[in-house]
Amino acid sequence: MYNRIKKFICCFIVLFTITAMIPIQSSAAPANITGGAYVLIDAETGQVLVEKNMDQKLYPASITKIMTVLLAVENLNPEAIVTVSPEATILDKDKYSDSMHIALTSGENIRVEDLMNATMIESANDAANCLAEAVSGTNEAFAQLMNERAVQLGAKNTNFTNPHGLPDENHVTTAYDMAQITRYAITNEAFLNIFSTVIYDIPPDNKKTEVLTISNRFSMLKQNDPTYYEGIVGGKTGYTVPAGYTGVAVAKRGDKTLIAVVMGSTSGANRFADLKEILDYGFNNFVRTAITTNNVKPTTSKIIENDKIVATVAINPATDMHYLRHSSVSESDVIFTTDIKDSYSWYDIQPTVILTVADNTYMYSNIGTFELSHTEKQLSNPIPVQGTNEDKESENETDKPVKEKKPLPTALKVFLIIFAVILILIGGLIILFFVSNARRRKRDKLRRLRRQEMYEKSRREMLATKEKTKK
């Protein structure tokens, strides 16, 4: 019986040890992506869910046109007529004659709306040139506007030199920057309508007598196409030899809208497969999680003007604050750091909460910064600010973000529990060993006593027999 118990405990210890050595995971990050760089973000908050080389500067090819169409939507009347310049055409330029176009010719009059749809849906480079000239006069001036707008939208490593994305060694961006540009663009209803259009008819004009029907090259939008993606909102593809195959996809399922960007995929089919796998990873593994008063306690700060307290600020978490949490990460693993100052000026009230998570989880460590809601209440009688240098130093200390205690990662917690169980089992095995050893010694002692008694009895019987024999 003892040997059976010992074998069972030994097997149990081995099993738990092997389990502890296996990484804990709900679902591994996308593993079959052919693109050299990609990113997946939450469209609502900009939170990065998963990435690879997202800040690497690469050639974007035609996903550049997302910015081109956005600027056209923001700056032009869709019903305005544009006259095509000789510089905007593609057909008469040997370098670009085999690139995508709608055969615009010099002197052709075409509506801005038709140019915007041709640029996005057909990826027409001549249409992109026309939009650039209509907005800024020249491609060079338009590129400057593109770069200024990119910075405003959160781009960090982008330099556009043209409106179409045709090869230029200085025309670069990143997966992260394109995701942020797209995130803002889809909030524009006019842009989103073009971004999601599958088929569009360009009417005749002064140079063309027939309707030109164009079909979106982003096949994930087409329900009868094998690459169709459930919940797809819109997308844009790109390709040049230096860039490889690039793509941007936006999809919505349930309470999540996600933006995926891939750059440098190895083929057109692989580009769509990459986008699908990245989006699937986000929809299958992340849950919408609220940021509540349990995480951020309400507090009150002061508004100081001219060394007087002129108002108070009641700070609370906004009612609709949330983030996307990987299903393998518990809420207790998320670190909340509040940045709430003791005092503000009227023009600088920006209380925030910063969310991070340990690097060894399936979440990007920097979840994001969220603005807290606040309400100002002006004082009828301003209060002079008084205090010594020590008070000011103390006040400065309160201005610093208060970092909450960092919880142990889930994986470490599980490992410690397994380690404790193993120690308990080892302790139980040791106790069993000593108990069994004590019993064995007791049995041996009893056996020796019985043998001694038998020996003494046999000796007495032998002596008695000898005595009878002598008589």
Reading the block at residue 122, the tokens are 């057909």
CA geometry: angle 16, 21, 27, nearest 5 deg:
105
SS3 129: helix
Reading the block at residue 20, the tokens are 């502890």
Catalytic pick from 123, 136, 219, 265?
A: 123
Catalytic pick from 7, 26, 65, 468?
A: 65
Catalytic pick from 62, 136, 219, 301?
A: 62
Reading the block at residue 435, the tokens are 């108990």
Which is nearest to 28 in space by CA: 439, 361, 370, 386? Answer: 361
SS3 248: strand
In the residue annotation, 123 being an active-site residue is answered as: yes
Which is nearest to 26 in space by CA: 274, 330, 279, 230? Answer: 330
Contacts of 88 (CB under 8 A, 6+ apart): 104, 126, 129, 130, 133
Which is nearest to 126 in space by CA: 166, 168, 75? Answer: 166
CB 24 within 8 A of CB 410: yes
Q: How far, in Å, are 56, 59, 89 from residue 173 at the CA level?
A: 8, 6, 25
Which amino acid type is present at position 244?
A: G
In the residue annotation, 215 being an active-site residue is answered as: no
Tally Cβ neighbours within 10 Å of residue 253.
Answer: 15
Cα–Cα distance measured from residue 35 to residue 452, given in angstroms and rounded to the nearest whole number: 86
- Dihedral over Cα of 168, 169, 170, 174: its sign: positive
In the residue annotation, 196 being an active-site residue is answered as: no
CB crowding 29-59: b at 16 or more within 10 Å, else e: bbeebbbbbbbbbbbbbbbbbbbbbbeeebb
CA of residue 151 relative to chain centroid, distance: 20
CA of residue 291 relative to chain centroid, distance: 17
- Dihedral over Cα of 82, 85, 87, 92: its sign: positive
Instruction: Please count the residues of the chain.
Output: 471
Tally Cβ neighbours within 10 Å of residue 420.
Answer: 10
CB 283 within 8 A of CB 233: no
Could you list the active site residues? 62, 65, 123
